[in-house]
Amino acid sequence: MQNNNSKYGTVPFELEVSPEIREFIENASISANSLMSNFEGDKLSRVSLAATLLWEYIIRTDWRYRDLLVAGEELSAAAGMEDQIIRTRQLQYVDRTEAFHRQIYGTLSVLILFLNHSGPRQIVTQLPISSVQRFLQYLQEQPDLESHSEHFDQLLFSVKYRASLIDHPQQSKLHHWMTMGMPTETVIIHYIPTYVESGDDEVAIGKPATIQYLNPHEPNFKPIVDCSSFVVSPEAFKTHSSLCTIIINVLDWCNGANDK
């Protein structure tokens, strides 16, 4: 790999990188380089490797996000086609959604790795490193980062969504899912259907009397099927943006602690 615009960690810009992420990494590497300037020798080599991994994971997250956008466009284009095509593209969208949130989790994990190797001692000794959720919650409680609480909430939503509905479905109640197209993106609605007895069996039934065209992320939203509870997938754009915002502000926060 070539080393571009980074004094220490290798920035893999020979890969196919979107202009937005290229600019983001260039800016973030300034803060990362400042943290790494406190090390030398073997320690610097390890910290530089952690930085390289972080840039790679950020790029992979952007790939997964763009894959998801393409899947959403293909699903929208399937309107009016055969049921088999629509069903296939719905499941492909679910697959890309799961891949995206898994990558968000992985990138946050590598951020923890980098901070554990490069962060100021007064931060590293207090930093939860065994749980991404506790890591985010700890950062959210820091006075210098409290203005980014909304972004922490968005990432926590993604982390919990991955844990309960993607990687550990056995920990959630059995549920159905459906996709819902919105002007900005498609969402997945995971819902526990209403069951009624039908002979010796129970079957999922029901549609409400009127279809409510509401934003699925608003508190008063209800799906167009009868259900006892539901979860709407986190907004991909907000999650992606929140990840970038938190990474660069946490790196700056660590540099501020070094200056104190």
The rounded Cα 78 to chain-centroid distance in angstroms is 26
Average pLDDT, the chain: 88
Residue 218 confidence (pLDDT): 84
Residue 142 confidence (pLDDT): 95
Residue 259 confidence (pLDDT): 66
The rounded Cα 5 to chain-centroid distance in angstroms is 26
The residues pairing with 187 across neighbouring beta strands, listed in sequence order, are 180
State the residue for tokens 């506790």.
Answer: 134
Residue 199 confidence (pLDDT): 55
Residue 2 confidence (pLDDT): 44
* Digitized pLDDT (tens) for each residue of the chain, 260 residues in all: 344 545 566 677 677 888 999 999 999 999 999 999 989 999 999 999 999 999 999 999 999 999 999 999 999 999 999 999 999 999 999 999 999 999 999 999 999 999 999 999 999 999 999 999 999 999 999 999 999 999 999 999 999 999 999 998 888 888 899 999 888 889 999 998 876 555 555 555 555 535 555 788 888 888 888 888 899 999 999 999 999 999 999 999 999 876 66
> Identity (one letter) of the amino acid at 62?
D
Residue 204 confidence (pLDDT): 53
Residue 215 confidence (pLDDT): 84
Is the distance from CB of 242 to CB of 151 less than 8 angstroms?
yes
d(CA 138, CA 252): 16
pTM given for the model: 0.89
Angle at 160 between CA 157 and CA 162, to 5 degrees: 105
Is the distance from CB of 28 to CB of 247 less than 8 angstroms?
yes
Is the distance from CB of 32 to CB of 114 less than 8 angstroms?
yes
Residue 69 confidence (pLDDT): 95
Residue 155 confidence (pLDDT): 98
> 129-170 pLDDT, tens per residue?
999 999 999 999 999 999 999 999 999 999 999 999 999 888
Domain boundaries, given as residue ranges, for the chain: 19-166+237-259, 172-233
> 92-127 pLDDT, tens per residue?
999 999 999 999 999 999 999 999 999 999 999 999
Q: What is the C-alpha R_g of the chain? A: 21
Residue 223 confidence (pLDDT): 86
User: Smallest Cα–Cα separation from 109: which of 129, 91, 89, 124?
Assistant: 129
